[in-house]
Amino acid sequence: ALASSLADFPAVRGARLYVGDGGRGLERVLEAGDLPSGLGQSLPPGAVRDGPVTLPIGGRSIRVIPLSGGVEGFLALDVDEGTAHSGLDALGGVVGGALASARLFGTLKDRVARLESATLERQRQLARLTMRNEVLVDARDSLLALLHYDVRSPIAVVLGQCELVEQGIVGPDRIPTAV
């Protein structure tokens, strides 16, 4: 994508993108064309802190453009002498913004993956709890059926004896008493 973007700038013979790697320095990320080797090391400290600069490196005119969007790094372009730099300097903002967006996308992608993993774990947990609940409901139903039978049987005997007394078939003195 970097090489195709540079096609709009015929005065640019090559480009190299350096991006910070978490405070350990700058890492060469992309390259299009042919630039002098050791370019990242040959820059004076803070060379692009105040904005884009053109530096003579290896007999070439190298335009060094800082990245924006909170991204540490710079874009180095091998340009023809006397090239107008305003359009080229805007590339630092575009590339920095694109890298910031890519990092945000990566962060969001990681977050979505963690949320999906957590969702799967919750679904497994819900399935385990649902099975446990079904076992407990079955146990409760069995207990209630047993209690229903155990309570109904003695009451049926008492009711039957009361009906016999009520109908006069058996006298109250003939009904056994509970101890």
Percent over 70 (pLDDT), the chain:
70
Over range 118-140, report the average pLDDT: 95
Of 111 and 152, the structure prediction assigns the larger pLDDT to 111
Whether pLDDT at 25 is above 70: no
Residues 64-108 have pLDDT tens digits of 777 777 777 777 777 777 666 667 777 777 777 777 787 788 889
Instruction: For residues 39 and 16, give the distance between their C-alpha atoms in angstroms, rounded to a whole number.
Output: 9
Higher pLDDT, 55 or 3: 55
Higher pLDDT, 96 or 2: 96
Q: Are 17 and 73 in contact (CB under 8 A)?
A: yes
Q: What is the C-alpha radius of gyration for the chain, rounded to an integer number of angstroms?
A: 42
48-60 average pLDDT score: 71
Q: Are 66 and 49 spatial neighbours (Cβ–Cβ below 8 Å)?
A: yes
d(CA 101, CA 107) in angstroms, rounded, equals 10
| Residue 35 pLDDT exceeds 50 | yes
Task: Dump strand ranges (E) for 21-95.
Answer: 26-33, 53-57, 60-66, 73-79
Q: Sign of the CA dihedral 58, 60, 61, 64? A: negative
Reading across the β-sheet that carries 26-33, which strands appear in turn? 26-33, 12-20, 73-79, 60-66, 53-57
Do 13 and 31 form a contact (C-beta atoms < 8 A)? no
Average pLDDT over residues 33-42: 63
In the predicted model, what is the mean pLDDT of residues 120-134? 96
pLDDT, tens only, 106-122: 889 999 999 999 999 99
Specify whether the backbone of 33 is left (phi greater than 0), alpha (psi in -120 to 50) or beta.
Answer: left
Of the candidates 174, 32, 145, 10, the residue with the CA atom closest to the CA atom of residue 79: 10
* Predicted TM-score of the model (pTM): 0.48
Average pLDDT over residues 151-161: 77
The single residue listed with the structure tokens 């694109």 is 98
